Amino acid sequence: MNALILGGQSPRHQVWVRQVAESLQPYFQVVTFLDYQHWQKEVSVDLEYEIGQASHLASELGEYVIIAKSLGTMLAVHGNALGLLHPSRCIFLGLPLKALDGLEDMPEGLRRLPPTVFVQNAQDPLGSFADVQAYVAAHGNGRVKCLETPGDTHNYVDFALIAKLASGTH
């Protein structure tokens, strides 16, 4: 089994994806991550471009798990809905409910997800656990579940928990 990591929007996630990758190394044959183009250049986020890049990385992985945070969750759901990403399961951290406007296929994408765990801080400013749980219940499928973690930030740095969830040892 392999792993694909999709970080959040902020350039600080260049470090985060590498930290997650390091925590996953003992559990997966291949661990890779996407460095978004807007991290390197001063350009706007281009979801379609990044989905294409993620799809290219995933095409070389065989069977894989997606571990995604914030923007990465949106890319994973959208890419899955378009049939460009085919993970066997997903771990999503910090679904940014307040940033989903304009993504009409999110509900359909949620219905099409493989087994997925949504990890959400109790008071995440981009979507509380209660709000994410309600959204996922309204639009998800029987293969998704939500896990509440303490906190009032949009930071997800419990790398041991991420590794346990991603590897299926939790």
pLDDT of residue 85: 96
pLDDT of residue 168: 87
Domain that holds residue 72: 2-167
pLDDT tens track, the chain, 170 positions: 999 999 999 999 999 999 999 999 999 999 999 999 999 888 889 999 999 999 999 999 999 999 999 999 999 999 998 999 999 999 999 999 988 876 777 888 899 999 999 999 999 999 999 999 999 999 988 899 999 999 999 999 999 999 999 998 76
pLDDT of residue 53: 97
Q: How far apart are the first and last CA of the chain?
A: 16
pLDDT of residue 104: 76
Domain count, the chain: 1
pLDDT of residue 170: 63
How far is Cα of residue 32 from the mean position of the Cα atoms in its chain? 13
Assign residue 16 a region (left: φ > 0; alpha: ψ between -120 and 50; beta: otherwise). alpha
The pair of structure tokens assigned to 112 is 């099409």
The pair of structure tokens assigned to 38 is 């807007």
Model confidence, pTM: 0.96
**Rounded distance between C-alpha atoms, residue 158 and residue 170, angstroms:** 13
User: In terms of residues, how long is the chain?
Assistant: 170
CATH number at residue 95: 3.40.50.1820
pLDDT of residue 42: 80
- Mention every residue, 6+ apart, whose C-beta is less than 8 A from residue 65: 1, 2, 3, 4, 28, 87, 88, 89, 90, 91, 166
> Do the Cβ atoms of 103 and 78 come closer than 8 Å?
yes
